[in-house]
Structure 1
Amino acid sequence: MRLATRYVRRMGAAATSSVSHSAPGRTTGQFGVVVFLASDIMLFAPFFAAYFLLRSTAAEWPPEGVELDVPRALLATIVLVASSFTLLAGDRAQERGDGRGMRRWLIVTIVLGVAFLVNQFAEYTTIPFRADDHTYGSVYWGLTGLHTAHVLGGVCALGLLYIRAARTRSLDEITPWARGVSLFWHLVDVVWIAVFITIWVIR
């Protein structure tokens, strides 16, 4: 009887230890980030599908009078892609435990993101067509507007990450948050490359 009791106690302790080691909070957070990013991709997919569907059925695409500034969009693309590399530099600094370096690269990334937003809003003021002028206008404003909203959200997330990095005593405490923000920002950059190729290159 005593041997059985000891065996049960050992099994219970082993099970508790297994649960505590196999289900850390970070795993749940990472899974949530993956699910969120997957849902975000599905959010953009219908916009791209609508663009190519409308393009394939339109007699003239883009419509007459639509002139897009390709060099300007290319420069904005370079700025946004560069922000991914600066954020990667910040991630490397965090892995080394270099808080100052991480914050410095975060600032550079935020500045590049804001520069992209300023250019995007400035371009919106010069575009000679509105969303309700034709189907091209609808899909253009819908696709670029959705992406611009994501960049704005990403810049806010980077700002919050900077604040947390400045206040924390250990960079390890913010690792899950930093990884989530980094993945979201890289996704935003990849989506923009697809938007640029779709609207300004393929047309």
Structure 2
Amino acid sequence: MSTASNLRNAQTRPDEANVTELDVRGLPTFAFGHRSVMWWSTAGLMLIEGTVFGIAVMMYFYLRTHAPAWPMAASAPELRWGTLNTVVLLASMLPNQLAKRAAERFDRGRAKLWMTVCLIATIVFMVLRGFEFATLNVNWYTNAYGSVVWLLLGLHTTHLVTDFIDTAVLTVLLFTGPFEGKRFVDVSENAVYWYFVVLSWLPIYGVIYWAPRF
């Protein structure tokens, strides 16, 4: 009985001599682009947040179609600060791209330089954003127009602050260390997210500053 059982086990058990073992110790522990889990996480985040922006914009035009006048009991926001901020944002895409390239070349020195420039640009933008809020010519509680305008500007400011914190942390790590290789991936994906912050602002800028003028 024992001999028959052993024969059955030998027939059903895979031939261990033919099993190939792979030594993966030398493979990289991180990657850039779509091969990275961080890239997919960032893409998913941008998709969700882009949807929220889209809903807010639709809300703006929905309210506009039901209002007797637009903007409601208010003047259109001043163009000066919003336009200047748009120029700053578009200009910041250059150092952002240079920081991304440096990270993907594992050039820590260049990454430090351009991340610092990006951080300064973000600070300048946030200061100008304060002037934007001050010149909307309407409070958030005044009427539906004021509420939706403050909502749009507030949503984008939230993303700006989030990216500022992320950029600041990565910049500090670049200067102080220890700096693991996978942090270069974080720098690269942070640059991708900044593109989202910039490009998502352009339609919001048009809605806030130009839609009331037409």
TM-score normalised by structure 2 residue count: 0.80
Does the CA-based 8 Å contact 1:94-1:171 persist in structure 2? no
Counterparts of 1:36 and 1:162, CA distance in 2: 22
Equivalent position of 1:6 in the other structure: 17
* Corresponding letter in the other structure for 2:16: T
Does the CA-based 8 Å contact 1:97-1:171 persist in structure 2? no
Residues 1:6 and 1:156: Cα distance change in structure 2 (over 3 Å): same
In the TM superposition, residue 107 of structure 1 has moved relative to its aligned partner by: 1.4
Equivalent position of 1:50 in the other structure: 59
Identity of aligned residues (%): 22
| Correspondence for 2:144 among 121, 135, 140 | 135
Alignment pair present for 1:193 and 2:192 = no
Equivalent position of 1:61 in the other structure: 70
In the TM superposition, residue 128 of structure 1 has moved relative to its aligned partner by: 3.3
Residues 1:158 and 1:170: Cα distance change in structure 2 (over 3 Å): closer
Report the RMSD for the aligned CA atoms in angstroms: 2.7
* Structure 2 unaligned spans of 5+: 1-9
Structure number with greater Rg is: 2
- The structure carrying a bigger helix percent of its residues is 1
Equivalent position of 1:35 in the other structure: 44
Alignment pair present for 1:118 and 2:127 = yes
In the TM superposition, residue 98 of structure 1 has moved relative to its aligned partner by: 3.0
Does the CA-based 8 Å contact 1:87-1:182 persist in structure 2? yes
Does the CA-based 8 Å contact 1:157-1:181 persist in structure 2? yes
In the TM superposition, residue 3 of structure 1 has moved relative to its aligned partner by: 9.3
In the TM superposition, residue 45 of structure 1 has moved relative to its aligned partner by: 1.9
Equivalent position of 2:3 in the other structure: none
Does the CA-based 8 Å contact 1:87-1:109 persist in structure 2? yes
* Structure 1 unaligned spans of 5+: none
| Correspondence for 1:175 among 184, 205, 212 | 184
* Corresponding letter in the other structure for 1:139: V
| Correspondence for 2:83 among 74, 77, 84 | 74
Does the CA-based 8 Å contact 1:87-1:106 persist in structure 2? yes
SS of equivalent to 1:202: helix
Does the CA-based 8 Å contact 2:30-2:182 persist in structure 1? no
Runs (4+) of structure 1 exceeding 4 A deviation are 168-171
TM-score normalised by structure 1 residue count: 0.84
In the TM superposition, residue 80 of structure 1 has moved relative to its aligned partner by: 1.1
* Corresponding letter in the other structure for 2:15: A
Counterparts of 1:123 and 1:5, CA distance in 2: 70
In the TM superposition, residue 150 of structure 1 has moved relative to its aligned partner by: 0.9
SS of equivalent to 2:138: coil
Equivalent position of 2:193 in the other structure: 184
Residues 1:72 and 1:42: Cα distance change in structure 2 (over 3 Å): same
